């Protein structure tokens, strides 16, 4: 089968790929769950146990209403679409499951699995980004082709792929829902340590995407050169200044005098002042 030939069908949506059970009474087969293997290219990595149990209960009561899609292998069958249904059917104690069997190339299997998960909104942004990258690197699809296959705008594909430029800790926060995709995009381009500091600030202070973008913008701004360069800069003092800047998400300068010194923390509006007050005191302005 020509891998490129699947493009138009994918663009028409999930219903063009996986018919309902009523439409496939002669095409669906009851196959043993023991002969079904997971798809190594399955884009979804995490399945919430509570949702899986709810699906298993529904399957126990009503059966599997829509066949899964598999491709035949030398040792049985490989899941193309329907990973959650297979897991839930096993949890419900079923021995067999209805399936539509198709002979598909590896790229088609990934495309179909991705389309199913994207259209059902089963993937988190990082899982989507990894699947898009796999389509690019392993199967040579352009961003335009990926956009057409999954029914998204090309700019959406580009923005999602850029999430993979973030530190792994930030990606984990996006994957588990602590950080939104919009918040995460604001951090792209910052050093890893600043990204992680800002994740803490965003989560703890409940910042909006706009506020996160403003904090990131400040950290990207070059530090102004001092009016008179110090002959011997204190690396320890510079490190303290940098740590304070990262922790507070705003410009901070530290100056040492003969006896003690001063710390200057900049803010940009009343809302920003309130945020800093809360962060420094734990109270409410």
Residues 154 and 228 in one domain: no
Show the 3-state SS of 198-233: HHHHHHHHCCCHHHHHHHHHHHHCCCCCCCCCCCCC
Residues 7 and 125 in one domain: yes
CA distance 261 to 265: 14
Catalytic residue positions, numbered = 83
Q: Would you say residue 136 has pLDDT above 70?
A: yes
pLDDT on residue 50: 66
Q: How many Cβ atoms are within 10 Å of 217's Cβ, its own excluded?
A: 10
Q: Would you say residue 271 has pLDDT above 70?
A: yes
Residues 144 and 10 in one domain: yes
Considering the domain boundaries, does residue 198 fall inside one?
A: yes
Burial of 111 by CB count in 10 Å (0-12 exposed, 13-18 middle, 19+ buried)? buried
Considering the domain boundaries, does residue 167 fall inside one?
A: no
Residues 224 and 272 in one domain: yes
Task: Return the closest-CA partner of residue 65 out of 50, 80, 55.
Answer: 55
Full residue range of the structural domain in which residue 22 is found: 3-162
pTM: 0.55
Average pLDDT, the chain: 77
65-118 tens-digit pLDDT: 788 888 888 888 888 877 888 888 888 888 888 888 887 777 777 777 766 666
Q: Based on the structure, what is the number of domains in the chain?
A: 2
Which range, of 186-195, 205-214, 255-264, averages the lowest pLDDT? 255-264
| Span 272-279, average pLDDT | 80
Q: Would you say residue 188 has pLDDT above 80?
A: yes
Report the CATH number that the domain containing residue 146 is assigned in CATH.
3.90.1530.10
Residues 250 and 149 in one domain: no
| Span 259-277, average pLDDT | 79
Q: Are 1 and 106 in contact (CB under 8 A)?
A: no
pLDDT on residue 167: 93
Considering the domain boundaries, does residue 42 fall inside one?
A: yes
């Amino acid at each position: 089968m020509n891998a490129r030939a699947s493009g138009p069908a994918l663009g028409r949506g999930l219903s063009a790929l996986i018919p309902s059970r009523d439409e496939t009474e002669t095409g669906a087969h009851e196959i043993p769950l023991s002969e079904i293997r997971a798809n190594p290219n399955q884009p979804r990595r995490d399945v919430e146990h509570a949702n899986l149990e709810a699906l298993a209960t529904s399957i126990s009561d009503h059966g599997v209403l829509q066949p899964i899609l598999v491709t035949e292998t030398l040792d049985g069958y490989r899941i193309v679409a329907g990973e959650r249904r297979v897991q839930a059917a096993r949890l419900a104690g079923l021995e067999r499951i209805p399936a539509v069997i198709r002979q598909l190339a590896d790229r088609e299997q990934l495309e179909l699995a991705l389309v199913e998960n994207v259209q059902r909104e089963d993937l988190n942004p990082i899982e989507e980004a990894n699947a898009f990258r796999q389509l690019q690197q392993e199967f040579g699809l352009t961003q335009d082709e990926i956009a057409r296959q999954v029914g998204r705008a090309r700019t959406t594909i580009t923005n999602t792929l850029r999430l993979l430029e973030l530190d792994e800790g930030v990606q984990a926060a996006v994957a588990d829902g602590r950080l939104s995709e919009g918040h995460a995009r604001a951090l792209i381009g910052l050093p890893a340590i600043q990204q992680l500091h800002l994740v803490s600030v965003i989560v703890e202070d409940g910042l909006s995407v706009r506020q996160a973008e403003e904090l990131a913008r400040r950290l990207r701004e070059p530090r102004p050169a001092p009016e008179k360069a110090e002959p011997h800069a204190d690396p320890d003092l510079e490190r303290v200044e940098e740590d304070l800047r990262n922790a507070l998400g705003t410009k901070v300068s530290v100056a040492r005098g003969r006896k003690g010194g001063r710390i200057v923390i900049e803010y940009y509006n009343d809302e920003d002042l309130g945020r800093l007050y809360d962060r420094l005191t734990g109270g409410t302005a």
